[in-house]
Structure 1
Amino acid sequence: MTSGLSVLLLAAVFGCAPLVLVARTLVSGAARARHHEVGSAVFLQLGAIYAVLLAFIFNEVYGEYVVAEQSINKECAALHATAMLGDTLPEPARTGVENAITQYVRAVIHQEWPAMTENHASRTAMDAEQRMFRTVASLSGADPSVSSLRSTMLDELAQAHASRETRLFEMTLDVPPLIWVLLLCFSAVLVTLLLMANVERFWPQTVLTATFVGAVAFLLVVIRLLDSPFTGPLGLQPTDFHRTLERVTSLQPPA
């Protein structure tokens, strides 16, 4: 994936030389000079609009990426808190709660995370989550403290469920295709204006155009990667769930 993106960026940059050559062949220097003043004004106006649009979209996409990352952290924190509370229960309730949490975390790591790369949830993880809720909800005992712990653990599991729903929502949230069309059209128009610029020599114009194309292509690629928070080189990994699994497993008594 990373090599493919590098090739794409290099192609965008080095593809500018033939474009500049074609533009200089089709449009004479005199014609470019006559329209340079108007073209420069149009480029500045469209460039300002494009910069604002690009900054807004980048900010929104990065914000959603951070939300997805935070939802993972909150879900794991709630699961760990539930396990620590369950560790204070008498047997066999203690082992039952910890096993239910362990099964859910493993289902998320091994079944749901690969499924999320294809933009869908795992039925196995969903079933494990339901069993985890049922295990805690079915706790009972003569000790009033058990009822209090059960209520607190259910609150923590509700928080974990809300964070999981946020994680799955961010998985499906994409930049609308119309926005991508708008960005690409703006980019094409601005590059065309650069190709028509009244630059006397070939290589300075090529370097100028390649720098602009490379910067824009890089930003668009980053936006695309952030737009898919669970796939690609920037995809979020289940590191927090692995850490939570280790912490919950460490609470369990030796077999």
Structure 2
Amino acid sequence: MALVITVAVLALLAGLAANRWLRPRLISADDDEGMGVKDLVGPLLTMTVLLLSFVLVTANGSYGKAEVASRGEARALDQLVETAEYAPEAQRARIQADAVCYARAVSEQEWPAMADGKGSPAPSVWSTDFRRTFEDLAGQPVFGMLVAADNKRSDEREERLTQATASIPSAIFWFLLATLTITVMALATCLPRKNNRGQLITLAVITALLTTTLCIIRDVDRPFGGIISVEPTAIDEAERQAERDFAVNHPAEEVPCDEAGNRKRAV
């Protein structure tokens, strides 16, 4: 985002410098007229609409899918905890404890990693424990329900990690940035050299608008790392519910992980 703002400001300054020193050499007459405010708004309105279209597509795409996957994963984890109520006591305790640790690992370790488009191995430790516990329940009625809930959790996590990576290729982003630079410089060059206060204000507003639009595109394209980011609210709520159920059913036991979801002891 800082890069976009820096390049846009430099483009504006370069265009104004060209208007000051290059334009007199290209035009022999001492002209006081150039592209008017109306002429400036017209072509850039089209550019603004195109950029906003990218924002809408991205917002409805990557960001929306990331939020849906995050909530779906939390619901699947909550369903796994509730289904474990039908399992024998030993397996129930282990599944619910692992669910608490899984949620903590996702919230405290994987969520920050997704800001850079990466995942974390920490949640996989507890999802592996899920499957080991399921093996002890093979042949029992609850086995199929637990496996189905865990498969749903796994699919939603995979979708969440997929959406953490940028959906707009770097080439397209750099193309948009280059387009913004060329447009601002060209418009600034065409400004009249005198009596141009209105045109300068309009150009500055349009530059700010285009820059903000491109920053929004960049921000929304990283649903877990930008200003408008998906928060781990759903998985945190699933953790609280799993921890409450575990405490009710097994008040004398502790979950086998710390607050960050790291294992405290070997199992």
Same fold (TM over 0.5): yes
Matched, 1:59 2:52: no
* Residues 202 and 34 (structure 1), Cα distance of their counterparts in 2 relative to 1, 3 Å cut: closer
Given residue 219 of structure 1, which amino acid in structure 2 is its aligned partner?
A: T
Q: What are the equivalent positions in structure 2 for 1:65-104 lying under 5 Å apart?
A: 65-104=63-102
SS of equivalent residue, structure 1 residue 230: coil
2:178 corresponding residue in structure 1: 185
2:219 corresponding residue in structure 1: 225
C-alpha displacement of 1:183: 0.9
Alpha-carbon displacement from aligned partner over 1:172-212 (angstroms, at most 9, x marks no partner): 23421211222122212321332134545232121011000
In angstroms, what is the RMSD of aligned CA positions? 3.2
1:144 corresponding residue in structure 2: none
Query: Sequence identity of aligned pairs in percent?
Result: 24
Equivalent residue for 1:117, pick from 107, 115, 120:
115
TM-score (normalizing by structure 2): 0.77
2:22 corresponding residue in structure 1: 26
| Range moving further from structure 2, 80-89 or 197-206 | 197-206
* Residues 14 and 196 (structure 1), Cα distance of their counterparts in 2 relative to 1, 3 Å cut: closer
* Residues 58 and 126 (structure 1), Cα distance of their counterparts in 2 relative to 1, 3 Å cut: same
* Residues 134 and 31 (structure 1), Cα distance of their counterparts in 2 relative to 1, 3 Å cut: farther
Distance 1:8 1:60 in 2: 20
Q: What are the equivalent positions in structure 2 for 1:137-216 lying under 5 Å apart?
A: 137-140=135-138, 147-197=140-190, 199=192, 201-216=195-210
Distance 2:20 2:218 in 1: 33
TM-score (normalizing by structure 1): 0.80
Distance 1:230 1:107 in 2: 16
Q: Is contact 1:20–1:202 with CA below 8 Å preserved after alignment?
A: no
Name stretches of at least 5 consecutive residues in structure 1 with no aligned partner. 142-146
Alpha-carbon displacement from aligned partner over 1:110-147 (angstroms, at most 9, x marks no partner): 22223223332212211221211332343157xxxxx3
User: Runs (4+) of structure 1 moved beyond 6 Å?
Assistant: 31-35
Q: Is contact 2:7–2:181 with CA below 8 Å preserved after alignment?
A: no
* Residues 12 and 182 (structure 1), Cα distance of their counterparts in 2 relative to 1, 3 Å cut: closer
| Range moving further from structure 2, 232-241 or 196-205 | 196-205
Number of aligned positions between the proteins? 243
Q: What are the equivalent positions in structure 2 for 1:36-51 lying under 5 Å apart?
A: 36=35, 40=39, 44=42, 48=46, 50-51=47-48
* Residues 45 and 9 (structure 1), Cα distance of their counterparts in 2 relative to 1, 3 Å cut: closer
Distance 1:14 1:202 in 2: 20
Name stretches of at least 5 consecutive residues in structure 2 with no aligned partner. 253-267
* Residues 68 and 111 (structure 1), Cα distance of their counterparts in 2 relative to 1, 3 Å cut: same
C-alpha displacement of 1:60: 2.7
Alpha-carbon displacement from aligned partner over 1:82-107 (angstroms, at most 9, x marks no partner): 10111233312221211121221122
Richer in helix (by share): 1
